[in-house]
Amino acid sequence: MKKLLTTLSVAAVLLVAAAPAQAVPGIGTGIDLAVNIPTGNWGDASGMAVGALGYVSFDAIPIIKITGRAGYLHGLDKDGFSMSHIPVLVGVKWFPIPVIYLAGEVGMIWSKAKLDLGVLGTAESDWESELGGTIGIGAGLGPLDARVSLFMPDFGEVGDLKGILLTAGYRF
């Protein structure tokens, strides 16, 4: 039941975020394609993850946007191990110059590990949620947006569990 509610919640957020904002001043929506490249010990064990994130923003003041992103990052196999994520994040984008911004996000990130045991089949963990987030720098040119962030799916394990999250998006 928990998995179903999580999946339905993420789907609802993505549908709302992907829909055009119908010219509501200060409200923006979009979609980001994402690639997460795990680093450190996590990178030694797990392959990268690819996916998409729905995006919504509100102009707090001309140089600050309040943002929300939610989506799914599918873990690709590396030596029989992969890790997938469902991030649901809120954040802030600050534009110190018109097209360049600094961004930080925090929220719940559900993660699931999968291990290929060869002839014994596969072992999968349950979806586990942790407080995590991102911090990064990006550029927005018209409807196009690109960002490089440090992805931390669990603030409690940030020493071992982090990656580089690359996103490229389109804003409606």
Note the pLDDT tens digit of each residue in 136-153: 999 999 899 999 999 999
Whole-structure pTM value: 0.81
Question: Which of left, alpha, beta for 161 (phi over 0: left; psi -120 to 50: alpha)?
Answer: beta
d(CA 65, CA 81): 37
Domains of the chain: 2-171 (2.40.160.20)
d(CA 163, CA 109): 14
* Residues 64-95: tens digit of each pLDDT: 999 999 999 999 988 888 889 999 999 999 99
d(CA 90, CA 131): 12
